[in-house]
Structure 1
Amino acid sequence: MSRYDDGGYEGFYQVPDIVKQWAHYFYRHIRERNIPEIQSMYEISFLKLSDRYYKSSPWPEVSHIAEVVDHDHVFCLLYKEMYFRHLYARCQPTLRDRCDSWDNYCDLFGLLLTSNVNMQLPNIWLWDMIDEFLYQFQSFCQYRGKVQSMSPEEIDNLKKVTDKVWNIVEVLNILQALVDKSGIVAELEGDGGARLCSLEGYYPQSSNVLRMLGYFSLTGLLRVHCLVGDYVTGLKAIYPLNLHERTHLFTPRIPGAHITLFYYGGFSYLMQRRYLDAARCFNAVLLYIYRVKGAHRSSPQFEQILKKNEQMYALLAICLALCPAAAKSLDENVLMQLRERQSDNMAAMGRGDIDVYDSLFRDACPKFVTSTPPAYDQATTNTNQLAFRAQLNSFLLEVRSQQTLPQLKQYLLLYSSIALARLAALMDVEEGALRQQLICLKGKQRQLKWDGGKDMTAGTWTVASDLEFHIDVDPESGREMVMVSDTLQVATYAPFLAHHIARFEEIIRDLSLPPPVPVVPAPAAAAAVRA
C-alpha cells in the first residue's frame, strides 16, 4: 500500500519493471564498486526514468524496491536519499516528508560515522549528498518562518518537531563529525591535497565515501556559517582549503562544489570589507565557469551554474564600486564580461546610488536563515526576512558611510595640492565635515589582504587605492593644504604576455594528449535500463 498513485489516494502501487531493473542493477554495481556504471545510472538513468515515470510525483517508496535489492540496509538509505531529493525537486514536501528526510540523513551519516562501510561511490554523488542536506536545512528554515500562512494544526505539528529536526546545532555537528572522522584535515595538511587530486579521490583498496564527505563538509561548514552571518567563522571552517592557492584543490572536478566554495568564500570577504580578496575569489571562479560551462550545457545543474555566474558578477561589481583598485587583479575576460553586464550599475554606484547597491545585493546574496525558530504564538509576519534585513542593513550602512567619498576622490584627482578651505567650498561642506570625510576616505583605503598563510581570515593591512594624500600646513600662507600624490604605476606588459603564453602552452599540451580510452560497454541488461 502507498499514499501515492495516479488518483491521489491510497491504493495498490505498481512499480514498473524497468524501475525494478534499475534498482537491481544499481544495487549490484554498488556492491561491485563499479564506479563508471554507478555514475552512469546515478546521473543519466535516474533522470531519464524520473522524466518518464515520475515527472511530478515521488519515486516508489523504499519498501516497494527492497525485495529486488535483498533488503540491503545501506542501499535502502542511499535510495531514500535520492528519493527525497527528487521529491524536493519535483513535488511539494510536507512536514512529514521533511522530518523523514532528516531522519534518513541522520541514519545514513550515523552509519558512515560508526561503521566501516567499504564501498566506492562517485564523488559527484557524495557532493550532492552534502549539497542537498544543506539545501533541505535551508528549505526547512524558510518553511518554518512562514507561520502566518499556516493553519493552527500545522503550527501545532511544527512545534512538536522544531527542536528535533533540522536544528542548526545538529547540522553543524554532523558536518564537523564528518570532517573529524574522515581525517581529511590531517591529509590536506600533509601534502596540500596532491595525492587526493592525483588519484581523483579514489584510493586503491579503500573507501572514498567518508573521506570525500569530510572534504565536501568543509565547504558545507562555510555555507552554514555564511547563511547565519558568521563570516569569520565560515572562513576559518574551510581550513586547510586555500581559496588563493588552488593548485591542489579537488573541487574544480565537481563544478557545483567549486562554485559553492568560492561564492560563499567571496561573499564572506565582501561582508568583511575585504574587497581585494573578494574580487580575487570571484575572478577565479568566474574564469572557471567561463571555461567549463560549455561542457555542462546538458547537465541538470546548468541553470544553477548560470544563476550563480550572474550573482557573482553582481557581487564583483559591488566590490569594484567600493574598491576600484580591486580591478587590477581581474583577468581581462572577466573584466570584459563585467562591463557588458554591469556597466550601467557600476556607473550608478560610482555616483553613490544606494538603490542600485540595494538591488544588486538582494539579487546576489545567499538566502539567509535565522538560527532559532520563530515565536509561533506571536509571529504575524514572515520571519525569514529578519535575517535578510539584518545583513542588508549592515551592508547598506557600510555603503552609506562611503556615499560622499567618490565625489571627494574625483576632486582630489584633479589637484596635486589644494587648500582645505577651497576644497570644502567646492564640495559645499564645512571644513570640519570635510576633515571627517578625508579621514573616512583614508580609513576606507586600508583593508586586510590575504598574506599567503593557511588561515583565510588572516592578512596584512594594505592601501587599496590609486590615490595617496595627506594634510599639511603651507609655511608661507599658514593655510591647511591637502597634498595629493598619484600612486598609479606605469603599466608593464610582461605579466600580461607571460599569462597568455602560459595559457597558450596549456592549450597546446591539452591538444597533444592521447584520445580518451573508450568506456567498456555495459552489460546488456544494464544498458537496457539506461536506454
Structure 2
Amino acid sequence: MNGNDDFTEQSGYESYGYGEYDTEAGETHSEFEYDRQLCDIPEVVKKFLLYFRDSIDEGALYEIQNLYENTFPKLTEQFFEKRPWPEDDDIAHIVDYDYVFLILYKELYYRHIYGHISGGPTLQQRFGSFDNYCKFFNYILSTSEPVSLDLPDLWLWELIDEFVYQFQSYAQYRARLMKRTAEELDIIAANNDVWNVLCVLNVLYCLIDKSNIKRQLEVHASGGDSDSVAGDFGRHPLYKKLGYFSLVGLLQVHSLLGDYYQAIKVLENIELQSKAQLSYVPSCQITISYYVAFAYMMMRRYSDAIRTLSSVLLYIQRTKQLFSSRSYQNEQINKQMDQMYHLLALCLVLHPQCIDDALQQVLRESYHDKMYKMQCGDLAEFEACFLYACPKFLASSPPSCDDLLDDYVKEPILYQTEVFMDEVRQQRMLPTIRSFLKLYTTLPLPKLATFMYHSQLQAGDGIKKWNPIKALKELVIDLLCFKHKMKNVVWTKGTSGLGGTFQSGSELDFYIDHNMIHIADTKVAHRYGDFFIRKIHKFEELNHKLQLIKI
C-alpha cells in the first residue's frame, strides 16, 4: 500500500467490502468446545453486567474505566479463567437486549477467547469476531451525526490494537494451509473478504477521515486551535481518540506488511519526539516507539532508532510499577520491552554511539554475550536477535487455498530477515576495522590489510592464501563501506519522522593519502561534571522524599 488515497475518499463505511459468510460454520481445532450448560451465570456477574450496561448508557467514564480495568479482569480470573464468558444470547435478557452494550460485550468476549482459551479461537469465532467489529464500526460511522457513546481512552486504544491483532492472527491462521482441513479450506475460500487487508486498512482510514484527526494534529503542531478544524465528529471524544489510535493501527499494519516508509509517514503530524506523548496511553505510546524504532532500523536510520528506543526504555524504567500487575496488556508491554532491548543491542552493534548510563548498565548485565558475539561477526546471533525482536510479518495477499505444498506463514518473516541480514553482511568487517583505527592516528594501508587478514584467520573465516593485491582492494572497499554506513539521515526538527539531515554517526573519521590512512577521533569527551551534577540532584530529591516520609 503506497498511500492512503485509495481509502480516504471512500463514500462511506458500506464500501468496506465484506460479503456474506456463514458464521454457523462447523467448529474447528480447539481444546475447549463451548458447552451451553456452563452458562449458569453467577449472580455477581449478572449484577456486574447490568451495572456495566447502565454506566455505558449514562456515559459515566470513571465508573466505566473502573469496571473495564479492574472489575472485569477480576471476574474473569474468578469465574472464567479457562473458559469463555457467556455468549451474548445468554446475557441479552439481563441487559434488556441493549444493542450497543451487546456489541461492546462481544468485543471483550472474543478478546478473552483470543488471549486466554487453550487452543485459541475456532474458525467460527474468528468470523464472529470480525462480524462484531463490522457492527461496531457501522454503528459509529454510518451516521450523519456523532453517536452518544463515550469510552475510556484505554478501552478505545485496546479496541483498535485488538482489531489489528486479530487481523494478524487470522492472516497467520490462513497461511498455515497444511494444517487446515478440507472443510476449513472450503469455508475460507468462500469468505475471502473476512479479515481482508483492504477491509482492515479501509476501516482505519475511514476512522481517520471521519475524525479529521490529521488536520487537527497539523493545526495543533503549528500552535493553532485543533477544534477549529475538527468538525462535529472530530470534536467528539470517541471519534477523535479512535482517529488518533487508528493512525497507530496503520503504523502497525504497514510495518507488518514491510512498508516502513508508509508506516512512519502515517504519523507525520504526531510529535514523536515529544515526551508529553508518553502520558497519553502508555501502552499505545510504547507500541508507537517499538514500531517506529523498528521501521527506522530497517531504513538504516540507526541514530533515530537508538534515540527512539532509549527514550521509551527510560520511560518504562521510571514507571515500571505501572506494568507490574498481571494483565494481557502489561504482559505484552514487558515482552515488547525485551524486544526493544534486543533492537537497541542490534542498532548499537551496527552503529555504536553513547547512550544513557542506566540503559548501558542493563545491556551490560543482560545482553553482553549477545552483543559480544555480534561484534565478532557472528551472523547466527544477528539472525536470532532479529527473529526475536521483529514483529510477525504478514504477506500483502493470502496464498491460494488450492496450493497446499508449503506453510506460507514463514515466508514474510524469512524475506524480511534476509533483507536485514544482507545489510549485516555488508557491515560484517566494520567492527574489526573500527577497533584497529582506534589505535592509530596514521596507518599504512598494507599494514591494516595484514591486520585484517590475521583477524579473519583467528575468526576461522576460511581464508586459504594471502594475496596482497586482492587484500588491498577488499580493504579499500571495506573502508568506503565504513564511510558510507556510518552516515545516515538523522531527524533534527519538525513533526515528520521522515525528515532529517545526513550526519556521520562515527566517533572516527579518516582519509586516505598515498597508501596512508590518516585518522581523527571525533568523539566528544565525556562531560563528567554533568554526570555528577545529575547524581547530586537525584540524591537531593531522594533525601527530600525521605524527609517528607519521616514528617
- TM-score of the pair, normalised by structure 1: 0.87
Q: Which residue of 2 aligns with 1:308?
A: 336
- Secondary structure at the aligned position of 2:194 is classed as coil
- Deviation readout 1:204-230 (Å, 9 max, x if unpaired): x97421111111111111111111111
Q: Which residue of 2 aligns with 1:467?
A: 508
Q: Which residue of 1 aligns with 2:188?
A: 158
Q: Does 1:487 align with 2:509?
A: no
Q: Is the 8 A contact 2:88 2:105 kept in 1?
A: yes
Q: Does 1:266 align with 2:293?
A: yes
Q: Is the 8 A contact 1:119 1:208 kept in 2?
A: no
Q: Give 1:64 shift.
A: 2.0
Amino acid at match of 1:308: Q
Structure 2 Cα separation of the partners of residues 512 and 66 of structure 1: 56
Q: Does 1:284 align with 2:319?
A: no
Q: Give 1:62 shift.
A: 1.5
For residues 96-495 of structure 1, the aligned pairs below 5 Å read: 96-115=124-143, 116-161=146-191, 163-192=192-221, 207-247=236-276, 249=277, 251-300=278-327, 301-325=329-353, 328=354, 330-428=355-453, 430-473=471-514, 480-493=515-528, 495=530
- Deviation readout 1:417-459 (Å, 9 max, x if unpaired): 1222232233235211111111111101111100212111121
- Deviation readout 1:290-342 (Å, 9 max, x if unpaired): 122213322403322221111111110001000112xx2x2211111111111
Structure 2 Cα separation of the partners of residues 265 and 194 of structure 1: 25
Identity of aligned residues (%): 39
Q: Give 1:17 shift.
A: 2.7
Structure 1 Cα separation of the partners of residues 134 and 320 of structure 2: 34
Distance 1:35 1:462, change over 3 A: same
Instruction: For structure 2, list consecutive stretches of 5 or more residues without a partner in the other structure.
Output: 1-23, 227-231, 454-469
Q: Which residue of 2 aligns with 1:63?
A: 89
Amino acid at match of 1:472: D
Structure 1 Cα separation of the partners of residues 33 and 254 of structure 2: 43
- Deviation readout 1:333-378 (Å, 9 max, x if unpaired): 1111111111111111111111111111111111111121112222
Structure 2 Cα separation of the partners of residues 510 and 33 of structure 1: 39
Structure 2 Cα separation of the partners of residues 503 and 271 of structure 1: 37
Distance 1:196 1:394, change over 3 A: farther
Amino acid at match of 2:107: E
Distance 1:112 1:227, change over 3 A: same
Structure 2 Cα separation of the partners of residues 420 and 472 of structure 1: 10
Q: Is the 8 A contact 2:221 2:495 kept in 1?
A: no
- Deviation readout 1:181-222 (Å, 9 max, x if unpaired): 11222222233499999xxxxx9x974211111111111111
- The 10-residue stretch of structure 1 (370-379 or 434-443) with the greater mean CA deviation from structure 2: 370-379
Q: Does 1:76 align with 2:111?
A: no
Q: Give 1:84 shift.
A: 0.9
Q: Give 1:413 shift.
A: 1.8
Q: Which residue of 2 aligns with 1:525?
A: none
Q: Give 1:500 shift.
A: 5.6
- Secondary structure at the aligned position of 2:367 is classed as helix
Structure 2 Cα separation of the partners of residues 409 and 12 of structure 1: 66
Amino acid at match of 1:343: H
Q: Which residue of 1 aligns with 2:59?
A: 33
Distance 1:80 1:369, change over 3 A: same
- Secondary structure at the aligned position of 2:340 is classed as helix
Q: Give 1:120 shift.
A: 2.1
Q: Give 1:8 shift.
A: 5.4
Q: Is the 8 A contact 2:52 2:67 kept in 1?
A: yes
Structure 2 Cα separation of the partners of residues 280 and 319 of structure 1: 10
Q: Is the 8 A contact 1:98 1:140 kept in 2?
A: yes
Structure 1 Cα separation of the partners of residues 224 and 179 of structure 2: 52
Structure 1 Cα separation of the partners of residues 199 and 544 of structure 2: 47
Q: Is the 8 A contact 1:80 1:104 kept in 2?
A: yes
Amino acid at match of 2:167: F
Distance 1:208 1:252, change over 3 A: same
Amino acid at match of 1:410: S
- Deviation readout 1:17-73 (Å, 9 max, x if unpaired): 322221111011111211121111112221222223222222122122222323222
- The 10-residue stretch of structure 1 (498-507 or 224-233) with the greater mean CA deviation from structure 2: 498-507
- Secondary structure at the aligned position of 1:430 is classed as helix
Structure 1 Cα separation of the partners of residues 164 and 545 of structure 2: 36
- Secondary structure at the aligned position of 2:319 is classed as helix
Q: Give 1:382 shift.
A: 1.7
- Secondary structure at the aligned position of 2:518 is classed as strand
Amino acid at match of 1:147: L
Amino acid at match of 1:269: Y
Q: Is the 8 A contact 1:293 1:302 kept in 2?
A: no
Q: Give 1:482 shift.
A: 1.3
Q: Is the 8 A contact 1:118 1:206 kept in 2?
A: no
- Secondary structure at the aligned position of 2:503 is classed as strand
Q: Give 1:288 shift.
A: 1.2
Q: Is the 8 A contact 1:447 1:463 kept in 2?
A: yes
Q: Give 1:150 shift.
A: 1.3
Structure 1 Cα separation of the partners of residues 536 and 59 of structure 2: 42
Q: Which residue of 2 aligns with 1:519?
A: none
Q: Give 1:412 shift.
A: 1.8
Q: Is the 8 A contact 2:218 2:269 kept in 1?
A: yes
Amino acid at match of 2:321: G
- Secondary structure at the aligned position of 1:324 is classed as coil
Amino acid at match of 2:483: K
Q: Which residue of 2 aligns with 1:516?
A: none
Distance 1:435 1:296, change over 3 A: closer
Moved over 4 A (4+): 6-13, 193-197, 497-513
Q: Which residue of 1 aligns with 2:465?
A: none
Amino acid at match of 2:136: L
Distance 1:158 1:335, change over 3 A: same
Distance 1:193 1:106, change over 3 A: farther
Structure 2 Cα separation of the partners of residues 285 and 380 of structure 1: 43
Q: Is the 8 A contact 1:449 1:462 kept in 2?
A: yes
Structure 2 Cα separation of the partners of residues 157 and 505 of structure 1: 66
Q: Give 1:507 shift.
A: 7.6
